[in-house]
Amino acid sequence: MHSLILHPDCRPGPITSVTASLRATPNGCQAEFRLHGDISAIKVPDTAIPERRDFLWQTTCFEIFWQPDGGTWYREFNLSPSSKWACYDFDHFRLNSRDAPVEAIAVASVHSADELVLRADIMAVLRDPAQVALNGIVEDLEGNIQFWALAFPHGKPEFHSEVCRKLRVERGA
């Protein structure tokens, strides 16, 4: 598991730590995210029918950014505890966003008083080797947002920045 850091402009809240892991599979990847803290004090989207949905990042959700070596193209996955998901391709930093092709995404989450665990099994073409970002967005019950990542660029929280892509993924490595 990798420990994510809280963006320095975010104030402490009910979540005290976030960890994440990712494993490349022959048909895509598997990811796990864990929130630790007072789960009753954050907004956890209700379980819903699994489907592609935009704007999941506006409340508690998790993100994966996957950028293969040798270019500027990257793919973004948004994964909600509700089981909804989104997947976008970009040609360059926030340029030409479009729905990305995926075979299937299964998202499941469980939570207790002090932990929320989300697991995702993603079946999609993901070229490697790649630089990957693992991110968390946490909204508390008062509407405050915390941004968590492996790393951040200077300034505002910007998950699309290559600076966030600190995890090296290579099948067979």
Q: State pLDDT tens for residues 45-74.
A: 999 999 999 999 999 999 999 999 998 999
Q: Which domain holds residue 112?
A: 2-124+145-163
Q: Is residue 111 part of a domain?
A: yes
Domain count, the chain: 1
Beta-ladder partners of 148 = 6, 136
Q: Is residue 158 part of a domain?
A: yes
Write the DSSP symbol of residue 57: G
Q: Is residue 173 part of a domain?
A: no
Beta-ladder partners of 6 = 148
What would you report as the CA-atom Rg of the chain, rounded to the nearest whole angstrom? 15
- Scored b (16 or more CB within 10 A) or e, 44-61 reads bbeeeebeeeeebbebbb
pTM: 0.95
Whether 144 contacts 13, CB under 8 Å? yes
pLDDT tens, position by position, 156-171: 999 999 999 999 999 8
Q: Copy the structure tokens of residue 4.
A: 């994510």
**Residue 173 scores a pLDDT above 70:** no
